[in-house]
Amino acid sequence: MSDVEVEKLKYENKEIVLIGTAHISKQSVELVEKTITEEKPDVIGVELDLARLQQLQSPKKWRQMNILEVIRGGKTYLLLLNLLLSNIQKKLGKQVGVLPGAEMKKAVDLAKKEKIPIVLLDRDVRVTLKRALAKMPFFEKLKLFWIVLLSFFGFGEELTAEKVEKLKQKDVMNQLMQELSKELPSVSNVLVNERDMFIANMILAVKAEKIVAVVGAGHLSGIKKYLNKKRNISELNTIPKKASVLRFLKFVVPLIFVLAIGWGFYFKGFETTLNILFYWIIINGSLSALGALIARAHWKSIITAFLASPLTSLHPALAAGWFAGLTEAKISMPQVKDFETLSELESYSDFNKNRVTKILLVTAFTNIGSTIGTILGFAFIATLL
């Protein structure tokens, strides 16, 4: 094992033992057990938030999810991203014979067995994802979509146990973080730097003489940097509210459409106005329906996508995908087994066969098609004016 996997530090009268782990490593599980047994800490901290702890302890908690509320609440993309990243990690874990987060579960189990207080060190994963998406420029979101898409369809290098163990080496992990910073700097800042500060502050806030903290190896150097003093981290728990181009366009689109109708009627006549309406419905509706078709939606959902898109594209508070997704849900309501297998989906085919994720895919792809249809629709309308 590398000599950088366990770090012992002092802060005032507190002894801090950091265990740097790979989240899908058998050796990491053994290291956690060995260190906690030898160090006998007053408190054990783990790089988890409440949601992930509950998921580790109750893998079937997905049953409680209300798919209709997810769609109505506009959380489709967030949930899909969460599922994709979680299942990609689990797939890698199968390759090396250990479930993701096994070292964290071991730490929690030991804490219960030895009656040692447990502290959740990480920020709420939903806050982290929302902050990352809120801070990402449009082109970074495209990069993220492409990276996830490649992983989603299985294009990527197979991960061996040997490669996983290399990830625990400080220089290799830091190099990976640097590469991430180059490709997606805003994501790196939220996923790495902010969480380093958050975790470090949580460790310093623990009232105990000795704490063992189980964290990902990639966070070791960052956490140590922030273990010099306590900081105000309240801002790290807020979702940035900044002017979004997409939100702005939601209000601009109907305005432009009304102006186009008025301009066409006044300068070109009634026939041009009818042509504008006709091509808007055909182009916008067809692209939205195509998105639903790609997601292998039921024919009723495809028709719903076609009919809804020309109207929802002009309403800032509505989306065609919501209507198509809700239609799909009513036709093929998810069963208990669909929720139970959410953590076992490994490919696009798996996601499409599962009724829960199929509804999410129908919602997402319909919305994407509607967006493309709106852009192309306006481009064609411009040629008529």
Q: List, for residues 200-220, the tens digit of each pLDDT value.
A: 999 999 999 999 999 988 788
The answer to whether residues 58 and 106 belong to one domain is yes
d(CA 234, CA 219): 20
In a domain, 173, yes or no: yes
Domain count, the chain: 2
Q: What is the pLDDT of residue 96?
A: 46
Q: Of 237, 254, 276, which marks where a domain is finished?
A: 237
Confidence of residue 170 (pLDDT cuts 50, 70, 90): very low
The answer to whether residues 210 and 327 belong to one domain is no
In a domain, 100, yes or no: yes
Question: For the chain, what is the mean pLDDT?
Answer: 79
Q: Do 217 and 21 form a contact (C-beta atoms < 8 A)?
A: yes
Q: What is the pLDDT of residue 317?
A: 79
DSSP state of 73: T
The answer to whether residues 214 and 276 belong to one domain is no
The answer to whether residues 227 and 86 belong to one domain is yes
pLDDT single digits (tens) 284-317: 999 999 999 999 999 999 999 999 999 998 888 7
d(CA 92, CA 79): 20
- Is pLDDT larger for residue 185 or for residue 39? 39
Q: What is the pLDDT of residue 172?
A: 44
Query: Is 63's pLDDT higher than 60?
Result: no
Q: What is the pLDDT of residue 150?
A: 61
List the domain range (segments joined by +) for residue 124: 6-237
Q: What is the pLDDT of residue 149?
A: 60
d(CA 259, CA 113): 69
Q: What is the pLDDT of residue 247?
A: 64
Please measure the distance between the N-terminal and C-terminal CA atoms of the chain and give it in whole angstroms.
70
Q: What is the phi/psi pair of residue 16, to 5°?
A: -115, 125
The answer to whether residues 10 and 124 belong to one domain is yes
In a domain, 1, yes or no: no
The answer to whether residues 275 and 312 belong to one domain is yes
Q: What is the pLDDT of residue 58?
A: 66
pLDDT single digits (tens) 331-349: 987 765 666 566 666 666 7
Name the H helices within the chain: 26-39, 50-57, 67-72, 76-96, 102-114, 125-135, 138-152, 161-166, 170-183, 185-188, 195-205, 220-226, 245-263, 270-294, 299-312, 320-331, 336-340, 348-353, 355-384
The answer to whether residues 229 and 259 belong to one domain is no
Query: Is 83's pLDDT higher than 70?
Result: no
The answer to whether residues 225 and 273 belong to one domain is no
**Mean pLDDT for the stretch of residues 54-70:** 62
Q: What is the pLDDT of residue 39?
A: 92
Q: At what angle do helices 245-263 and 355-384 cross, to 10 degrees?
A: 40
Q: Of 219, 237, 255, which marks where a domain is finished?
A: 237
Query: Is 28's pLDDT higher than 90?
Result: no
- Is pLDDT larger for residue 100 or for residue 285? 285
Q: What is the pLDDT of residue 132?
A: 80
In a domain, 154, yes or no: yes
Q: What is the pLDDT of residue 153?
A: 55
160: left (phi > 0), else alpha (psi -120 to 50), else beta? Answer: beta
- Percentage of the chain beyond pLDDT 90 is 30
The answer to whether residues 253 and 339 belong to one domain is yes
Q: Of 221, 237, 253, which marks where a domain is finished?
A: 237
The answer to whether residues 284 and 369 belong to one domain is yes
Name the H helices within 167-269: 170-183, 185-188, 195-205, 220-226, 245-263
Confidence of residue 323 (pLDDT cuts 50, 70, 90): very high
The answer to whether residues 220 and 259 belong to one domain is no
Q: What is the pLDDT of residue 268?
A: 84
Q: Do 55 and 43 form a contact (C-beta atoms < 8 A)?
A: no
The answer to whether residues 199 and 327 belong to one domain is no
In a domain, 233, yes or no: yes
Q: At what angle do helices 320-331 and 299-312 cross, to 10 degrees?
A: 160
- Percentage of the chain beyond pLDDT 70 is 70
Query: Is 122's pLDDT higher than 70?
Result: yes
Please state the pTM of the whole predicted model: 0.65
- Is pLDDT larger for residue 16 or for residue 346? 16
Q: What is the pLDDT of residue 174?
A: 47
In a domain, 361, yes or no: yes
What does each C-alpha distance from 213 to 24, 180, 186, 196, 332 come to in angstroms? 17, 25, 26, 13, 45
pLDDT single digits (tens) 233-277: 888 888 777 555 556 667 788 888 888 888 888 888 888 899 999
pLDDT single digits (tens) 131-155: 887 777 777 777 766 666 665 555 4
